[in-house]
Structure 1
Amino acid sequence: MTDHIDPATAADPYDQAAYWYERMCSDDVTAAERRAFEQWHQADPKNEERYQHVQHIWNMAAALPKSEVKKLGAIPKPNVVHKPSRRAFWSYGLGMVCAAAVTFAIVDPMQWRATPEYQAQLSTAHGERTEVTLPDGSTLLLNTDTTVSVQLYANQRTVRLDQGEVFFHVDGKQGTPFIVELESGNVRVTGTQFNVRRNEQAFSVDVLQGSVEVSAGPWWSRQTAMLRSNDIARVSPSGELTSGKGADVESAVAWREGKVVFRGTPLAKAIQELNRYSDQRMLVRDARIGELRVSGVFNIDDPESFLAALPQFAPVIVQRRPDGSAVDILAR
């Protein structure tokens, strides 16, 4: 085991993040180090961001071909390595691949050896859906209230899902990794069709075709699941990952066709789903009727059809507010 240094002696906070990343990924990390890491993590709100920064570098490095890694290993270290904090970092680096990537992060503010071949910011408004075809042939179908950023490199394709939901049809001909990044994890594929929905810090993945790898949880205790056709994964706000066979993945992605499918769904949850698309907010005013179960296929672009049908199969009254601001659903 390598003699450890005190990470507090590293002047650069990113060096500290790199040190802790190496230690938390190590097989010989001690309980005392875990406690010290937690103290460092809680000491500054930006430390989590810095830790993710190191993880992002690792992901980029993992995409490099072995031949490139070999060449990178032969590149002289930049002049700044004479600083003690840099020596500490290289002593506790993440191995040859990650060290090569971090070398480029030091000399290149873009943290990559070249600018992206393609980059874009994509978004949809409330109730809007749009499909975008990327230069690599992959398509992204953005659901309502969605924001993503896309960066395509020669050796990796990355989409950052900041909010909302996207159905991905990834072209696998290139053979380069396609990574969907989220706050609490990521989804890694080469070619497949799958859906990712983000809700605050939680997210879900539904695989229609192909296979994907889902990673989640805190960086020092990463969980991973391999999903295939009709598999699903759910990641809680705390980063806990669960996975298995989905009951009906096709229904989960019915929004692509402008539909929403309810199968014994609690009325409160059904209303919450329809409110994602409706300009006029629907509100359940009684917790008891919120537990009523509803089934059916409805048009998400026509919430009026749902409101018209609702009193026919549930003991409720649909009451519209005079100012048109909302629709109240009351017990009959």
Structure 2
Amino acid sequence: MTDRPPPNPIWETALDWLLLIQENPDDPEINRRLNHWRASAPEHDAAYRKALKVWSLSGEALSLPVAAEPAPMPMPTALRPPARLSRRKRALVGAAMAASALLMWGPDWQAMQADYRSPTAEHRTITLSDGSQMLLDSNTLADVQYNSEQREVTLLRGQAFFSVTHDANRAFYVNAGDVRVRVTGTAFAVNLDDNGVDVSVESGTVAVQTPQASASATHLLGHGDQLHFAANDQRTRIVQLPQEQIAPWRRWQLVAVDQSIDDVIMQLRRYQPGLIVLTDKALGQRRITAALNLRDPKRALQTAIAPLGGRLQDNVPYTLIVSTKP
């Protein structure tokens, strides 16, 4: 059985601050203490920003003072947390925020759950509070939850490369879809897309839990191993990868080895603003082997389809149409 994290005290404290500042928006002492709490640790600020974003969906944003991000300041000698609100009141706030998130309608609703995101066609490096680093690929979303017992990152969309600082007392977990990765200190990549989840190890070892694996039968991966968990048939496959094929997106390169055009287009959508529309199903099933430049996804797409008789049209704004030449 997969371990689940205990209730997060940082998130609960963020909710306490949210309610306190709503009820006392003009109190300078409360605002000063809130800013100190947010500046004292990155996870504090991330939790409060997330609370503000999601709470705004309930229509209550106008009653909340949304100030600019506080500048870092030294930790006070005695930083008092907010008075603990009743469990019932905090639960009602949490339920309202969850309901608002469920009611939200839009193409990028996952972004509201994320602590960190990377824009289209950009990478973003995040240094977490324990010194671990998380490199986000283009159009990637990640949520971070740290507590005294464990460190946990949930990849909501896209792919990321992790360089994890060893901590014997707190394991590091990455959740991606139905897959859970446990590490102590290593470097590895995780990719989440419509096809499933890939976990690729550059150094060290990781234990990967999939829906079929029991707690005593996790998949142990070492240097060069890649696990693919397929979303459609729930099967797991482990292969060996050469070093240069482990997260080549870090070098802005897509290495397609016997991949279908469908799969290549799915990956290029992360880097291309707007839409990529494939009108020929048969072309989508054709397979290629190529190294493509992700800094120019339009040209990469042209390079992929040209040898197969494909053509690319861009006469519709923000839309690339892929078809077969007549």
Q: TM-score range by the shorter chain?
A: 0.5 to 0.7
Identity %, equivalent residues: 24
Distance 2:243 2:235 in 1: 18
Distance 1:263 1:109 in 2: 43
8 A contact 1:118–1:153 mirrored in 2: no
Partner of 2:185: 191
SS in 2 for 1:309: helix
Alpha-carbon offset, residue 183 of structure 1: 4.3
The alpha-carbon distance between structure 1 residues 192 and 221, as it changes in their structure 2 partners (threshold 3 A), is: closer
Aligned pair partner of 1:283 in 277, 281, 285: 277
Which amino acid in structure 2 is aligned with residue 267 of structure 1?
I
Q: How does 1:128-277 map to 2 (within 5 A)?
A: 128-172=122-166, 176-199=170-193, 202-217=196-211, 224-237=218-231, 240=234, 242-248=236-242, 250-277=244-271
Alpha-carbon offset, residue 233 of structure 1: 1.7
Which amino acid in structure 1 is aligned with residue 226 of structure 2?
I
The alpha-carbon distance between structure 1 residues 175 and 317, as it changes in their structure 2 partners (threshold 3 A), is: same
* Deviations, residues 39-93 of structure 1 (Å, cap 9, x unaligned): xxxxxxxxxxxxx8xx414xx6xxxxxxxxxxxxxxxxxxxxxxxxxxxxxxxxx
Contiguous gaps of at least 5 residues in structure 1: 1-24, 26-51, 61-104
SS in 2 for 1:306: helix
Q: TM-score, normalised by structure 2?
A: 0.60
8 A contact 1:185–1:215 mirrored in 2: yes
**Over aligned residues, Cα RMSD in angstroms?**
3.5
Distance 2:8 2:197 in 1: 32
Alpha-carbon offset, residue 263 of structure 1: 2.3
Contiguous gaps of at least 5 residues in structure 2: 14-36, 47-114
Alpha-carbon offset, residue 163 of structure 1: 2.3
8 A contact 1:197–1:205 mirrored in 2: yes
8 A contact 1:117–1:151 mirrored in 2: no
Partner of 1:320: 314
Alpha-carbon offset, residue 167 of structure 1: 0.7
Higher CA-based Rg: 1
Distance 1:183 1:309 in 2: 31
SS in 1 for 2:4: helix
Which amino acid in structure 2 is aligned with residue 137 of structure 1?
G
8 A contact 2:207–2:221 mirrored in 1: yes
Distance 2:8 2:256 in 1: 51
